[in-house]
A = this chain, B = another copy of it.
Amino acid sequence: MKWIDITLPMEEGRPNWPGDIPFAHHITRQIGKDGSHANVSTIESSVHFGTHLDAPYHFIADGKKIDELDLNVLIGPCQVVEVPSAGVHVDLEALKRTVVPGVKRLLIKTDNSQRIHDREFHKNFVALSPEAARWLIDQGIKLVGIDYFSIGPYGDTKDVHHIILGPNDTVALEGVDLSKVDPGFYYLICLPMKIKDAGGAPVRVLLGAEE
């Protein structure tokens, strides 16, 4: 298996969700400085920074938390689709033509991928409409990913999150770097940090392709 890393690096200067704390990485010990033999550092981060996973608890008060998710949803076959947008929404008709029946894990590549490495936060990113979210749930999708920092459009994230994270324990993978990934079928490994009682967590996420 050849592993493609679709995780953004966690580093200062990359955009946080507006209102969240910016990511910070502090050096606390350095080899050769003050007699230290080791390099040590600390981080401060929103649990929704960078490439991260939303657990149902992010928007559902009694929903599953990030440390309670089913690992068999986070690991397994996955489809990556590339679809055009209609304004700030993924084009639902294009999605319908592309998603293969029976897929449980779906990553959606849009025009966002051209801006995912930018240092500024683009509020006009492309996201799911409530209709598209409902259609995905009807298809039996258990994990849906997108190439910007929310599955719902800016200023109107609530409905889409409620539909996706609602009664089915579906999870949302946000901020994946698909800029160098072609549409197709892969093996997904998506592992969140095991932060007790959190609604989300940074993930390390890989796509396995046949060599």
Contacts and interface: CB of A to CB of B under 8 A. Distances in A.
A32 B61 CA distance: 9
Nearest to A55: B39
A194 B37 contact: no
Given A40-B48, A42-B20, A8 B194 contact: yes
Tell me how many chains of this kind the complex includes.
Answer: 2
Contact of A11 (B20, B189, B196, B204): B196
Interface residues of A, number: 50
Interface string A1-45: 001010111110000000011000100100110000111111111
* Most chain B beta carbons < 10 A, residue from A28, A40, A189: A40
Nearest to A1: B75
Interface of A: 3, 5, 7-11, 20-21, 25, 28, 31-32, 37-48, 51, 57-59, 61, 67, 71-72, 75, 158, 161, 189, 191-200, 202, 204, 206
